[in-house]
């Protein structure tokens, strides 16, 4: 069971960046997926999530309207499209998964809600 995130890097404020996360070792289409991030010196926080079918998404207020999560179940991939980034978006970004058999996606915003985690990819936004 593994998630591997990639796509991070150094970008300038206002730029766009797409993160990817590939899953292996489990039935991806049966899992809700989420992105979290952890800025230096801060706790890990919820960024957004997407239901197993891709029809439902939730976002943190801080990224709503700028970030979009989408998935490709055939490729076992989930993506985080980041637009209009700013220095406050600087963080290590993690993808996470939880079985959809545990219930609906609504309210699943805590780290403890997810039981599969990737290793993280660093995004640095310069001003």
Alpha carbon 40 to its chain's center: 18
Q: How confident is the model at residue 38 (pLDDT cuts 50, 70, 90)?
A: very high
Q: How confident is the model at residue 12 (pLDDT cuts 50, 70, 90)?
A: very high
pLDDT of residue 69: 98
Q: Averaged over 62-68, what is the pLDDT?
A: 98
- Using only C-alpha atoms, what is the Rg of the chain? 13
Alpha carbons 46 and 58: distance in angstroms, whole number: 10
Instruction: Name the percent of the chain lying above pLDDT 70.
Output: 100
Alpha carbons 100 and 4: distance in angstroms, whole number: 20
6 has a pLDDT exceeding 90? yes
Q: Averaged over 3-9, what is the pLDDT?
A: 98
**Is residue 89 helix, strand or coil?**
helix
What average pLDDT does the chain have? 96
Yes or no: say if 105 and 32 are a contact pair by the CB < 8 Å rule. yes
Give the torsion sign (CA, 44, 33, 59, 68): positive
Alpha carbons 85 and 16: distance in angstroms, whole number: 6
pLDDT of residue 102: 87
pLDDT of residue 103: 85
Q: Give how far Cα 61 sits from Cα of 48, 72, 103, Å.
A: 9, 24, 23
pLDDT of residue 97: 98
pLDDT tens-digit series, residues 89-105: 999 999 999 999 888 88
């Amino acid at each position: 069971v593994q998630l591997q995130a990639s796509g991070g890097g150094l970008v300038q404020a206002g730029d766009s960046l797409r993160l990817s996360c590939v899953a292996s070792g489990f039935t991806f289409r049966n899992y809700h997926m989420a992105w979290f991030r952890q800025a230096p010196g801060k706790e890990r926080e919820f960024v957004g999530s997407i239901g197993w079918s891709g029809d439902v998404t939730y976002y943190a207020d801080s990224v709503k309207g700028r970030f979009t999560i989408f998935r490709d179940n055939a490729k076992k991939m989930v993506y985080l499209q980041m637009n209009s980034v700013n220095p406050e978006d600087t963080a290590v970004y993690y993808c996470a998964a939880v079985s959809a058999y545990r219930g609906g996606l609504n309210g699943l915003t805590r780290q403890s809600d997810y039981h599969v985690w990737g290793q993280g990819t660093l995004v640095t936004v310069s001003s």
